[in-house]
């Protein structure tokens, strides 16, 4: 049985994306790791950063992002599929470049893959998610954030990345296009085994100015550059995380692969630790009354189970 890792990325070093660290967190588990490396800016050094891992398992597939034909962030799904198609493993571990997995979980993941390898009904493994917010000492467990997602899949040609690459879906037929990545008809959810492992998501941990830059980049791939200029024309140059006492404190341990990246954290004095949000007209979803009420119920009465959770998966097994 062979395991491949895969991801997609471009301009990681310009957008404060820990691509090298994300890949390093998975490398010990996999037999190969495929990177769909997009056509970044001339001064981007993402390839050099990843190559500095000096691991022969890593394979690059050079790509060009076709934002004209894959708008609404479906370019992320298309690029994920490019990497997936180059994988040779029986099972595939997908890690986005702003995610990492603690090394303590790798043995568990391998045991789950070995257990379900002969169980053909299981098409993927479902992980819990911890979404860090503002810095590495806080995470957001609000109803506004997805609590679980698929990150390990069988290498089946019918399985494709879906929408903005948050998840995967099984297609009866597939012809690459923006509409294909958005459709539900003729597709179904994957049958998965839930495992007691978490993926750490660092997509909301950047210097405030860099966070705004990343938002604009994502908006470009969703709305196009012209509409993005209109959307952001009156916004500040820095993202406002709001008071951090409104989210949860993290008391655990980060993946070892993230240690050097976390040591670069130097924007603590730009964050608001408590008090009232400076811009009351534009709160983040987790600060709105609706989401705060839902989060309180889910945390205190439902043992973390999310009401109306978006589930692009069907749980048929639970690994213990």
Band (256; pLDDT cuts 50, 70, 90): very high
Residue 71 vs residue 300, higher pLDDT: 71
Give the pLDDT mean for 112-139: 97
Band (319; pLDDT cuts 50, 70, 90): very high
Give the pLDDT mean for 302-320: 80
Q: How far apart are CA 246 and CA 270, in angstroms?
A: 16
Give the pLDDT mean for 152-172: 97
Whether pLDDT at 290 is above 60: no
Residues pairing with 272 in the sheet = 243
Q: How far apart are CA 19 and CA 13, in angstroms?
A: 8
Q: How far apart are CA 295 and CA 288, in angstroms?
A: 11
By CB atoms closer than 10 A (0-12, 13-18, 19+), residue 252 is exposed
Q: How far apart are CA 97 and CA 172, in angstroms?
A: 29
**pTM beyond 0.85:** yes
Q: How far apart are CA 285 and CA 289, in angstroms?
A: 9
Whether pLDDT at 233 is above 80: no
């Amino acid at each position: 049985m062979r395991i491949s890792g895969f991801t997609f990325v471009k301009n990681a070093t310009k957008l404060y994306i820990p691509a090298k660290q994300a890949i390093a967190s998975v490398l010990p588990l996999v037999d190969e790791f495929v990177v769909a490396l997009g056509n970044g800016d001339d001064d981007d050094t993402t390839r050099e950063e990843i190559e500095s891992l000096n691991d022969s398992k890593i394979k690059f597939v050079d790509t060009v992002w076709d934002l004209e034909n894959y708008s609404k962030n479906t370019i992320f799904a298309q690029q994920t599929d490019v990497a997936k198609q180059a994988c040779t493993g029986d099972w595939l571990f997908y890690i986005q470049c702003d995610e990492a997995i603690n090394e303590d979980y790798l043995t568990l993941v391998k045991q789950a893959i070995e257990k379900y390898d002969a169980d053909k009904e299981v098409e993927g493994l479902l992980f819990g998610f911890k979404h860090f917010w503002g810095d590495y000492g806080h995470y957001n467990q609000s109803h506004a954030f997805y609590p679980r997602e698929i990150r390990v899949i069988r290498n089946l040609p019918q399985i494709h990345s879906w929408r903005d690459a948050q998840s995967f879906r099984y297609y009866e037929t597939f012809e690459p296009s923006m509409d294909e990545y958005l459709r539900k008809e003729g597709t179904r959810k994957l049958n998965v085994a839930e495992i007691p492992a978490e993926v750490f998501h660092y997509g909301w941990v950047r210097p405030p100015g860099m966070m705004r830059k990343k938002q604009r980049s994502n908006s470009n791939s969703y709305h196009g550059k012209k509409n993005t200029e209109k959307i952001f024309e009156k916004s500040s140059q820095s993202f406002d995380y709001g008071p951090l006492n409104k989210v949860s404190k993290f008391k655990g341990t980060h993946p070892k692969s993230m240690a050097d990246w976390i040591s670069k954290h130097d924007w603590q004095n730009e964050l608001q630790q408590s008090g009232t949000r400076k811009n009351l007209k534009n709160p983040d979803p987790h600060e709105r009354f609706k989401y705060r009420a839902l989060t309180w119920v889910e945390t205190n009465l439902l043992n973390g189970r999310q009401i109306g959770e978006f589930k692009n998966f069907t749980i048929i097994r639970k690994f213990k």
